Amino acid sequence: KYYEEMTKRKKLFNEVQEAKGNIRVFCRCRPLNKVEMSAGCTTVVDFDAAKDGCLGILTTGSSAKKTFRFDRVYTPKDDQVDVFADASSMVISVLDGYNVCIFAYGQTGTGKTFTMEGIEQNRGVNYRTLEHLFRVSKERSETFSYDIAVSVLEVYNEQIRDLLATGPASKRLEIKQSSEGYHHVPGVVEAKVDNICDVWNVLQTGSNARAVGSNNVNEHSSRSHWYQAHAFFPISFQFLTFYFYINVSFSISILTNNHLFLIQHAMYNGSERLAKTDVQGERLKEAQNINRSLSALGDVISSLAAKSSHIPYRNSKLTHLLQDSLGGDSKTLMFVQISPSDQDVGETLSSLNFATRVRGVELGPVKKQIDTSELQKTKALLDKARSECRSKD
Ligand code: ADP
């Protein structure tokens, strides 16, 4: 019992890792693609000062250049390993007791899926995060006991469904606030996972049960994902609850009491996007609901940036679920994805302006306060446990 207590307290109060600030914005630019090259598109992005986190956009094709600064700038030559190397400290924050939300934002076709999911031969942030998470939690196993379980929830047309529930259609689930103030979904099935394969199997099961089936947009195109439903993955650690939020289209992962959300987030003008696709009836309703979630996420971030007294978390199920991971002392990493092409310069500027606003969001104290009285209590418990062990010997 004492050792259990000791492990719990150590996990809560030790090794609090300091990441620099609570919100970071990384900008990633994809290469010009073949279609753009054959159409004679030119690059409007200047990476001369990329190493210092700056990039310039040639706004008019003339000499006018607008400069932006972010925490990192990735050129088309930077690969997935470079990107994850910088993101990995955020992931570890989750094991140290922080809520973490990692998401990609940007115009369609700019590489959100590529950054978050990647391709089989060249995995993205989601896979690398899980790999890193399990590796570090195992490295720490002598000190900490991490007990991870995954649940898969779908947010579909603003209703939450448990994708791991068996039997007749699962009851409608609601987001509740615990007495400690955490947001959670009571009654969800939790599948214990020990490694990345387990997680993938659970995700597969959840994915098979999704309400959204095939659609009328090219299924092999990542762009077709944009109106698919969200899947939400709470993960329980021994004493903490982790949430894994994966949006099958714009995907996420999360952890918390400490949550880590990894989100692939398309922020777009809904009507414009809807007009570009042949979407009608139920699909149109889905698309509008997803668009609503995405706009709501943008509104929450903007309100945080503007330091508004009211943050509209409750405007969508997505932001309500994410509430603990956007605000307070949670850590947020946003990838703003851009196209290098002169044809996309308008969208690029609007994404960069939004990202600049996000960079100004202050989410609260950088570091959790360590309660020294709690540490004293832990020490007393340890001393007592040790002397009891000795007396038994
Ligand atoms: P989004 O999810 O934002 O709609 P995708 O991730 O599907 O965009 O990217 C569109 C295309 O560009 C894909 O074919 C993808 O492989 C490619 N791509 C995106 N980013 C990169 C990159 N950094 N390097 C190479 N190819 C990329």
Residue to probe by mutation, ligand 1, list 26, 28, 29, 30, most atoms within 8 Å of CB: 30
Nearest CA to ligand 1 atom 9: 111
The verdict on whether residue 59 carries a ligand-binding annotation is: no
- Say how many Å lie between the CA of residue 30 and the centre of ligand 1: 7
The verdict on whether residue 270 carries a ligand-binding annotation is: no
- Say how many Å lie between the CA of residue 255 and the centre of ligand 1: 26
Those residues whose C-beta lies under 8 Å from the C-beta of residue 326, and which sit 6 or more positions away, are 101, 300, 301, 304, 313, 319, 332, 363
**Are 387 and 52 in contact, with CB atoms under 8 Å apart?**
no
The verdict on whether residue 108 carries a ligand-binding annotation is: yes
Nearest CA to ligand 1 atom 10: 109
Point out the ligand 1 atom lying closest to the alpha carbon of residue 116: 6
- Say how many Å lie between the CA of residue 108 and the centre of ligand 1: 9
- Say how many Å lie between the CA of residue 277 and the centre of ligand 1: 19
Residue 161's pLDDT is 75
Write out the chain's pLDDT in tens, 393 residues. 555 654 554 454 333 334 445 778 999 999 999 999 999 999 999 999 999 999 999 876 556 789 999 999 999 999 999 999 988 888 777 776 677 778 788 888 899 878 887 887 888 887 888 888 888 878 877 766 666 667 766 666 777 777 788 766 556 788 888 887 778 788 877 777 788 888 778 777 766 665 544 333 333 333 222 223 333 333 333 222 233 433 222 222 333 345 555 554 444 433 334 444 555 666 666 566 666 666 777 788 778 777 788 999 998 887 887 787 777 767 788 899 999 999 999 889 988 988 887 776 544 443 343 344 554 555 566 566 666 666 665
The verdict on whether residue 111 carries a ligand-binding annotation is: yes
- Lining ligand 1 with CB less than 6 A are 30-31, 76, 106, 108-114, 222-223, 337
The verdict on whether residue 328 carries a ligand-binding annotation is: no
Residue 199's pLDDT is 79
Point out the ligand 1 atom lying closest to the alpha carbon of residue 266: 3
Give the tokens for residue 34. Answer: 């073949």
- Say how many Å lie between the CA of residue 17 and the centre of ligand 1: 32
Point out the ligand 1 atom lying closest to the alpha carbon of residue 33: 12
Residue 251's pLDDT is 25
Convert the pLDDT of each residue in 331-380 to its tens digit.
788 899 999 999 999 889 988 988 887 776 544 443 343 344 554 555 56
Point out the ligand 1 atom lying closest to the alpha carbon of residue 110: 3
Residue 284's pLDDT is 65
Burial 326-363 (b: 16+ CB within 10 A, else e): bbeebbbbbbbbbbbbbebbebbbebbebbbbbbebeb
Please, which contacts does 206-215 make with residues 24 or more away whose CB atoms are closer than 8 Å?
Answer: 206/152, 206/154, 206/163, 206/164, 206/231, 206/233, 207/163, 207/231, 207/248, 209/152, 209/154, 209/163, 209/164, 210/154, 210/156, 210/163, 210/248, 211/154, 211/156, 211/161, 212/156, 212/248, 212/286, 215/283
Residue 19's pLDDT is 41
Distance CA 116, CA 264 (A): 6
- Say how many Å lie between the CA of residue 107 and the centre of ligand 1: 11
Point out the ligand 1 atom lying closest to the alpha carbon of residue 221: 7
Residue to probe by mutation, ligand 1, list 47, 108, 114, most atoms within 8 Å of CB: 114
Burial-class residue 79 by CB neighbours within 10 Å (0-12, 13-18, 19+).
exposed
Task: Indicate yes or no: pTM above 0.90.
Answer: no
Point out the ligand 1 atom lying closest to the alpha carbon of residue 226: 4
- Say how many Å lie between the CA of residue 315 and the centre of ligand 1: 30
Convert the pLDDT of each residue in 201-217 to its tens digit.
877 776 666 554 433 33
Q: Give the DSSP letter of residue 200.
A: H
Q: Is the ipTM of this complex over 0.85?
A: yes
Point out the ligand 1 atom lying closest to the alpha carbon of residue 222: 7
- Say how many Å lie between the CA of residue 104 and the centre of ligand 1: 12
- Say how many Å lie between the CA of residue 113 and the centre of ligand 1: 7
Convert the pLDDT of each residue in 127-151 to its tens digit.
888 888 888 878 877 766 666 667 7
